[in-house]
Every structure is written in C-alpha cells, then in structure tokens.
Structure 1
C-alpha cells in the first residue's frame, strides 16, 4: 500500500456540493465519448446500491456517468480526463486488480487508471479509501476492460 493512501484525510476539491438536506447532490458530470461512454454506462449499471454503509443517492444533474453515496461522502465520476498530475512513469498501487492513482494535491481523490475510461472517486475522511476501492473493484473490472 502506498503512502499516498495514508494521506486521504485532506479535503478534495471535486466539483460537488450539496443541494440541500435530503436533496440531490450536485456533481459536475464528465462527458466521455465513444468506447469510454459505453464502458461508463455499463459501469453505472453494475455499481452497488450501498457502499461502505452508505446508500446511493441522486445526483444533479442526473448522469449515467456519476454515482453518489451518502450525500457526497463518496462520489464517482466515470469518463474523466487522465489525471493531470500523473506522470507517464508513475507507479500506482493495485487493489483487487484495479490500479489507483492517488492525487498528491487532492489526497481524497483516487482515479482508476489503465482501463477503457478513467474513473475518479472522491472519498470523505469518514471512510477508509482501501475499503471503498476494494468494493468498487469488481464492477470496474467487469465494465471497463484494461488497456494495453
């Protein structure tokens, strides 16, 4: 496990906000195209209704590329751009067959890499990133084939 996983407690800057108690959570959806869009739609159909003890909630605007659990305690966006801070030779840890880049600038942000689409997951400090990423590995592996 990387030291980056230990730095998850800081605040992430993912563009999401609460729309109000009990309302939909505002998350800016990505706009994947082609193969990535199809793979992200397939991922959305496989994601769990509950994740690390949190129920999935609605996001606004509604998007097949976004999933939110527990009023933005955990948020997933599929089809995002390659992480800007990830170098070409970056060594990334693998959890249950999925490689995760942990952004050093935004330690609560993890991006699944080496797949048909990049999947960005923001995890609040109340949750252990490794637990969440282990639970997301099966649907990611099933929907998003690895790239060469």
Structure 2
C-alpha cells in the first residue's frame, strides 16, 4: 500500500503549505490598504510635490507605501504611519472644542478614532494632509515632526497669519 500526499505534491512542498496555513502567513507581504483621496487638480499638484519630498524614514520606520499605489498616499512601517494628501476638510474642524498640536511649524488637528490609533489633519494649508498612526504613537508627535519640513516646503499656507 502506498502513502498518498494531498494533490500529489512532494512531501517538502506539502509541509511548507501546511506550515504557512498554520502560522497565518501569506505569500505576499500584506501592507496597509487605504482609500486614495480625489482632490481638485490644484490640490493634487501640491500633493504630488509633497510625495517627492517625503522622507525615506519616519520615526525610525522605513517607507512602505499602502495599496493601491498613488502619489497621494504614503506609508511607513507597513501601515504604522499612513499619510493621505488632498483629503476633504474633516467635519471635526468646525468643532470649537477640537484639539490641535503644532509640530515643527505645522499645525495639526487631533482626532482619536475608535480603532485606538490617532489621526492628524493639517490646518492652515491649501490642501489637507492626513496622517494616521497606530496605537504605539498615541502620545508621540515624532512622526509629525519628521513630516513637517516636507509639508512646509510643498503645501503653501492658506490665508492665515498663524501658518508658517
């Protein structure tokens, strides 16, 4: 009597497939997935300039852009930090009790989504830049400081004296 392997695969391949299934690994490196913004053309041009100036590392994490690939999105650390440029104005900006911080000359509105991470949206700029960070950056503005020079260089101030 002969032993049968599933689908006639050699023992080593069968073992590898079973190991991958058991550990939950995938054949591809699954990074973050985001909705790509659809800003007006003038705002998209600012975002394209920003994309060219973004740093290779943020908070010590290597750049790893989310899917689908776009000049309007960027990421670091396989989804730990995700930037979207040209997002719509968040409703929360109309709330007089909304919180904001300043990091290296760029002002950001703070939101704490239910997923436990943190979302920041630039203010006083000609287009909105959104940065989401996972839980480990809940009390850390280092990523925003790392992005500030790129934002300042490429996204002009709106008509507001507080903008650098």
5 Å-filtered alignment, 1:29-44, equals 29-44=36-51
Q: Greater relative contact order: 1 or 2 (C-alpha under 8 angstroms, separation 6 or more)?
A: 1
Contact residue 75 and residue 123 of structure 1 kept, 8 A: yes
The size of the alignment, in residue pairs, is: 130
2:95 is the alignment partner of 1:99: no
1:48 alignment partner in structure 2: 55
Task: Please report how far the alpha carbon of residue 88 of structure 1 lies from its aligned counterpart in structure 2 after TM superposition.
Answer: 6.5
Aligned-pair distance for 1:49?
Answer: 1.0
Distance in 1, matches of 2:64 and 2:112, equals 28
1:97–1:29 Cα change, 3 Å: same
Query: 1:84: Cα distance to partner?
Result: 1.0
Match of 1:115 among 84, 101, 125: 125
CA distance in 2, matches of 1:64, 1:84: 25
Indicate which of 139, 144, 147 corresponds to 1:133. Answer: 144
Q: Unpaired runs of 5+ in structure 1?
A: 1-18
Normalising by structure 2, we get a TM-score of 0.71
Structure with higher Rg: it is 2
Larger helix proportion, structure 1 or 2?
2
- SS of residue matched to 1:93: strand
Distance in 1, matches of 2:79 and 2:27, equals 12
Provide the TM-score with structure 1 as the length reference.
0.78
1:58 aligns with 2:65: yes
1:81 is aligned to 2:88: yes
Gaps of 5+ in 2: 1-25, 160-164
Deviates more, 1:34-43 or 1:79-88: 79-88
| Aligned: 1:26 with 2:33 | yes
Say what the alpha-carbon RMSD is for the aligned residues.
2.1
